[in-house]
Amino acid sequence: MEYYGHWRNRAFFLILVIIILITATLSSCEATDPPDSDIEIISKELIEVPGQNPNIDIYKVFYKSDNIKVLAYLTVPKAAGKYPLVVHLHGGYALERKELSHYDFGFTFGFSYMSDEVVYLYPIYRGYLESDGHVQGIAENTRDAENGIKVAMSTGSVKSDSVYLLGASMGGGVALRLASERQDVKAVVGVSPFVGWDVNLRWLYEHPDANSPEIVEENRKTGEYVRFGLINANPESKGDYSILDRIPDIKAPVLLLQGTADESLIWQTVQDFAGDLEKAGKTVKLVLYPDGRHGLADKYQDQRNQEVTQWLHTYGMPKSFALQ
């Protein structure tokens, strides 16, 4: 009996220790589990770049999007706290390009001026730079950006209901689509934004005799391919090429900046889209720059940055934030 009692006491003690360890482990998991644990992060590497703001950490992250490995850069303030999330959305091709993989599109960024009062996210869509897959269209780019936002949220450093979307060219279209899908977006900025093939096709239909500048003719040829080769062949995919039908779901205020000498898109389509937003009762501001080129990285760069900064400040961005 003494032998049995001895082992019974030891068993009780071991069970008690196991329960304590399990409880501690579960508590630790509850404290560290990310808000968006459904995103699969492949790797997250802390990097350093010349001249970076010493008050931020910079990460190079690979994550899964539609089971494709996608790259993003992420900056997080070193000081503990919750911060607004600024998502920078780069430009690219408006249609799928199967021949382009790991495409270098001249993406550049500077971390020296990055504010230590916000979290920055730079998702690099599939097919670009080190992201796997091939270049695809706006629908896929939006999903890659959406999953990138989940990566940023997983840091636990993002303030709730405080997402700001900044997109240029194709990235402007991605920003608008994201704004129609998320309810936590505080403000949207589109610089020379692609506003969807439906708006382009409408403008081309309303201006059948227009054939200049050169980009009009290029869009006419591509638009016919989209309309007859893609949408007619696959009517269920029409939404993949559209932003216009998402206007009712856009709640955040939208700033659109557009040059009238844009060599990459028909600038009037941006003007038309702004009108569509206004007719739908949305908060929108359109700024046209005479003879401004695509991206406004020319004589209007300073005015562009000031306009963006002021817009974001109006909708809650910390006053220390300034686009440079």
Average pLDDT on 208-216 reads 92
Tell me: pLDDT of 192 over 60: yes
What band does 323 get if pLDDT is binned at 50, 70 and 90? confident
Taking a C-beta distance cutoff of 8 angstroms, is the pair 289, 300 a contact?
yes
For residue 96, pLDDT over 60 is answered with yes
pLDDT over threshold 60, residue 44: yes
Q: What's residue 113's pLDDT?
A: 66
What band does 322 get if pLDDT is binned at 50, 70 and 90?
confident
CA–CA distances in Å: residue 229 to residues 54, 61, 179, 210: 51, 36, 28, 22
> Tokens at residue 246, please?
């998402």
- On whether the CB atoms of residues 243 and 202 are closer than 8 A, the answer is no
Which whole number is the average pLDDT over 233-248? 92
Mean pLDDT of the chain: 88
Q: Which CATH number fits domain 39-314: 3.40.47.10, 3.40.50.1820, 3.40.1410.10, 3.20.20.70?
A: 3.40.50.1820
Q: Where are the domains of the chain?
A: 1-33, 39-314
Average pLDDT over residues 31-55: 78
pTM listed for this prediction: 0.87
pLDDT, tens digit, 9 for 90 and up, residues 272-296: 999 999 999 999 999 999 999 999 9
Q: What is the pLDDT of residues 162-179, one digit of tens each?
A: 999 999 999 999 999 999
Question: Would you call 131 helix, strand, or coil by DSSP?
Answer: coil
Mean pLDDT of 180-189: 97
- CA nearest to 117, candidates 287, 280, 312: 312
Q: Would you place residue 21 in the very low, low, confident or very high pLDDT band (cuts 50, 70, 90)?
A: very low
Give the pLDDT of residue 19: 35
Q: Is the pLDDT of residue 114 over 50?
A: yes
pLDDT digits (tens, 9 = 90+) for 6-15: 333 444 343 3
DSSP 85: E
pLDDT at 59 exceeding the cut of 70: yes
> Out of 25-34, 137-146, 260-269, which region has the weakest mean confidence (pLDDT)?
25-34
Q: Is residue 71 a contact partner of residue 18, using CB atoms and an 8 Å limit?
A: no
How far apart CA 4 and CA 82 sit, in angstroms, is 56
Reply yes or no on whether the pLDDT at 138 is more than 70: yes
CB atoms within 10 A of CB 254: 27
